[in-house]
Chains A and B, each alone.
Chain A
């Protein structure tokens, strides 16, 4: 059995890792918000999604968090009339990525807040550990 406070820092770091993976997926989506296909009529960039799962860490004796899977958003692609585009089909329609900026921004904010909360826990645990060590200083 690991010391509960050490286990706590491990859980928080798992949380930080999960949230930063989420932020990476969000920035990937935002960066590719205008990425169309190359060949005429081809599919553009499809929005990625991320899900987490709780798993029991037997050495820690607590449920940790990890990334379950990075999926693909199956929402249909919006089309736009742009005949000059290399990805335009015979009617001049181009498929645009199904990325909604508003959703990505809201998601980013939430990931940010969760990251901060995990960081806050880590700081607090560190303060508790040093307070315990300080007992030896007398």
Chain B
């Protein structure tokens, strides 16, 4: 999808694929929200270690071309799908005696972060969509 004007093409060397970027970030935010919910659900489970997904920047850097699976026997490998996101043990603020490392404050802080980023994400997509629709309508 080309969003930029033809005259701009010379100045913008690398186009920003906004909708793709936004949907990937939304995907990442949803995955992060799932790990946070899992941490909070297990806030009183003995021996549970808090988890977090890798930062979004790392997901962007990891994008690469992969071989297509044309046969059911091929091993599917798709870096753009959320299940290929790495979920790792997170550094947390405290560990209690029962070896549970979930810090409720930290998790709620992260949840607030996710909420804020998600509303920013949907607002931007909405604004771009509105711009796109206005160009389609006026022509």
Which residues of A approach B to under 8 Å, CB–CB?
Answer: 1, 3-5, 7-9, 11-12, 14-15, 18-19, 22, 51-54, 60-65, 110-111, 113-114, 117-118, 120-121, 124-125, 127-128, 131-132, 134-135, 138
Are A120 and B115 in contact (CB-based, < 8 A)? no
Which residues of B approach A to under 8 Å, CB–CB?
Answer: 26-27, 29-31, 33-38, 40-48, 82-83, 104, 107-108, 111, 114-115, 118-119, 122, 125-126, 129-130, 133
* Chain B interface SS verdict (over half): helix
Choose one: B33, B44, B111, B130; the contact of A52 (CB below 8 Å).
B44
Chain A residues near B126 (CB-CB < 8 A): 134-135, 138
Give, as a whole number of angstroms, the nearest-CB distance from B4 to chain A.
22
Give, as a whole number of angstroms, the nearest-CB distance from A96 to chain B.
28
A4-B82, A12-B40, A62-B38 known, 16 other contacts, Cβ within 8 Å: A1-B83, A7-B34, A8-B33, A52-B42, A52-B46, A53-B45, A54-B47, A61-B83, A64-B38, A111-B44, A114-B44, A117-B40, A120-B111, A124-B111, A127-B115, A135-B125
Are A121 and B111 in contact (CB-based, < 8 A)? yes
